[in-house]
Amino acid sequence: MKRLLALIATGATALGLTVLSNPPAAAAVGCRVDYTVTSQWQGGFQGAVKITNLGEPVSGWTLKFTLPDAGQKVVQGWNATWAQSGATVTATPVDWNRALDTGASTDLGFVGSFTGANPKPTAFTLNGVACTGSVVEPPPGGGEPTPGPGTGTPVDVNGQLRVCGVKLCNQYNRPVQLRGMSTHGIQWFSKCYNAASVDALAKDWKSDLLRIAMYVQESGYETDPAGFTSRVNSLVDMAGARGMYAMIDFHTLTPGDPNYNLDRAKTFFASVAARNAAKKHVIYEIANEPNGVSWAAIKNYAEQVIPVIRAADPDAVIIVGTRGWSSLGVSDGSNESEIVNNPVNATNIMYAFHFYAASHKDNYRATVSRAASQLPLFVTEFGTVSATGGGTLDRASTTAWLDLLDQLKISYANWTYSDAPESSAALRPGTCDGTDYSSSGVLTESGALIKSRISTTDTFPTG
């Protein structure tokens, strides 16, 4: 185990700030900028900036704008390199959003301070061109129709998932992104997972996914294989009854070589795959965080466990852990190339990536951005704090991560939907003794931000 920033959807008009209004319909020129204040507090605010390139494709860009009040300052930002000179703010790209094709957009954000008024920025330019254009819709009957979002629960809409190319796709062969939560170790926090809490996760949080973290050691599966298998199956059923996907996480951590648990893994997955094979909502994660072990050894483990699952459940998506605590090897000084050059010999699989926002920043994001064009990735665990599970929430890094995952359509599960006494937990200590799992009074700072992020409307494509 390693021990989460949502753009808070508050009305900008109440703050005296609005999204820039669209000009009258006209030929698209230059660029368009949509600016929104997503949160404001005494002396500070958070701004979201969406750039849409309406001109020729660019391989690099510089955004500039003016902060009209002398008391306004950019304190920190994400998804760009930010600088301020007097009233002029400059943002330049990071590796993954450097190129913008015609019609392409990228989302930036910053935390600012102010001492007087807080008027909206003015004079937005992109590479020196004023951002005054509007996005023009295609003429009726022209072009390829865009599939509309489906209605119903995540499982109702998407059905059986599969890997298509480097994306997770639904029953319509359309790429989708699942956003959800991970349990903590069910041997320690079983009281957090009951009808009330899973109801809240599905209905109030609008989570697409429940990741079920079943530790193998640390008072977990090895102490009571039948009992833990039964607990996992029960949570699979609870998630399915509420229309959420269930990820069965064989949570290996110590020792870090998954081959230590190879026989246990075969026994466990043979059982849960046979029992859940007819269910469309089950995903298998076969090794949580391999560490202190080579990619070759992880690959060997995967190529022995995957056939066991496939023998019973030939269609489900299977996720393989990666080197360096599922960092694609980055935490071991490597990168995704070892997997690209020597992939697991199996189909319909994805590779796990984990991050903790306060510890894992630009070099990790650059790796994910590169790897996502070559490997199907699933962020099966992430936190808003440090890799220890403690410390303060890193708002800027978390937002940069989640914006990147949204852009790349990479699914994720946050650590953790629990009331553990650590800052990565979404619920305040003692919450699981009651029945309220959603109101502001029971959420930690991390929980409030993640709930705000994942509870926004899904746009699962159909047709």
Q: What is the pLDDT along the chain (463 residues), one digit of tens a residue?
A: 443 323 223 333 232 333 333 333 233 357 899 998 876 777 878 788 989 888 888 889 999 999 988 889 998 877 788 999 999 999 998 877 888 888 888 888 888 888 888 888 999 999 988 888 765 444 444 443 444 566 699 999 999 999 999 999 999 999 999 999 999 999 999 999 999 999 999 999 999 999 999 999 999 999 999 999 999 999 999 999 999 999 999 999 999 999 999 999 999 999 999 999 999 999 999 999 999 999 999 999 999 999 999 999 999 999 999 999 999 999 999 999 999 999 999 999 999 999 999 999 999 999 999 999 899 999 999 999 999 999 999 988 999 999 999 989 999 999 999 999 999 999 999 999 999 999 999 999 999 999 999 999 998 998 7
Whether residues 257 and 179 fall in one domain:
yes
Which of 130, 145, 175 is the C-terminal boundary of a domain?
130
Whether residues 387 and 420 fall in one domain:
yes
Are the beta carbons of 123 and 43 closer than 8 angstroms? no
On whether residue 275 sits in a domain, the answer given is: yes
Whether residues 319 and 365 fall in one domain:
yes
Burial letters for 396-427: b for 16+ Cβ neighbours within 10 Å, e otherwise? Answer: bbbbbbbbbbebbebbbbbbbbbbbebbbbbb
Which of 130, 146, 165 is the C-terminal boundary of a domain?
130
Whether residues 115 and 176 fall in one domain:
no
On whether residue 201 sits in a domain, the answer given is: yes
Is residue 336 part of the annotated active site? The answer reads no
CA 344 to chain centre: 24
- C-beta contacts of 78-85 below 8 A and 24+ residues apart: 78/108, 78/109, 78/110, 78/396, 78/397, 78/399, 78/400, 78/403, 79/106, 79/107, 79/108, 79/109, 79/399, 79/400, 79/403, 79/404, 80/108, 82/110
CA distances from 271 to 32, 230, 263, 290, 446 (A): 54, 10, 13, 23, 35
Query: What is the number of domains present in the chain?
Result: 2
Question: Domain limits at 110?
Answer: 12-130
Q: Whose CA is closest to 340, among 330, 332, 351?
A: 351
CA atoms within 13 A on the CB side of 258: 32
The DSSP secondary-structure symbol of 443 reads: B
For every residue of 250-289, which 3-state class applies, written as one string?
Answer: EECCCCCCHHHHHHHHHHHHHHHHHHHCCCCCEEEECCCC
Is residue 289 part of the annotated active site? The answer reads yes
The DSSP secondary-structure symbol of 367 reads: H
Which residues, listed in sequence order, are joined to residue 349 by a DSSP beta bridge? 318
The DSSP secondary-structure symbol of 47 reads: E
* Phi, psi torsion values for 236, nearest 5 degrees: -60, -45
Q: What value, to the nearest 5°, has the Cα angle with vertex 350 and ends 186 and 167? A: 120
Which pLDDT score is estimated for 107?
82
On whether residue 309 sits in a domain, the answer given is: yes
Whether residues 166 and 126 fall in one domain:
no
**Domain with 17 in it: what CATH number?**
2.60.40.290
On whether residue 231 sits in a domain, the answer given is: yes
Whether residues 240 and 299 fall in one domain:
yes
Whether residues 169 and 116 fall in one domain:
no
Are the beta carbons of 126 and 53 closer than 8 angstroms? yes
Are the beta carbons of 153 and 186 closer than 8 angstroms? no
On whether residue 138 sits in a domain, the answer given is: no
Are the beta carbons of 395 and 363 closer than 8 angstroms? no
- Choose, from 285, 338, 381, 422, the residue flagged as catalytic: 381
Q: Whose CA is closest to 416, among 240, 186, 140, 184?
A: 184
Quote the tokens at residue 33.
């900028």
The DSSP secondary-structure symbol of 442 reads: G
Are the beta carbons of 339 and 70 closer than 8 angstroms? no
Whether residues 219 and 325 fall in one domain:
yes
Whether residues 221 and 330 fall in one domain:
yes
**Domain with 285 in it: what CATH number?**
3.20.20.80
| Cβ atoms within 10 Å of 323's Cβ, excluding its own | 28
On whether residue 72 sits in a domain, the answer given is: yes
- Choose, from 285, 289, 338, 422, the residue flagged as catalytic: 289
On whether residue 279 sits in a domain, the answer given is: yes
The DSSP secondary-structure symbol of 242 reads: T
On whether residue 316 sits in a domain, the answer given is: yes
Q: Whose CA is closest to 181, among 205, 162, 157?
A: 205
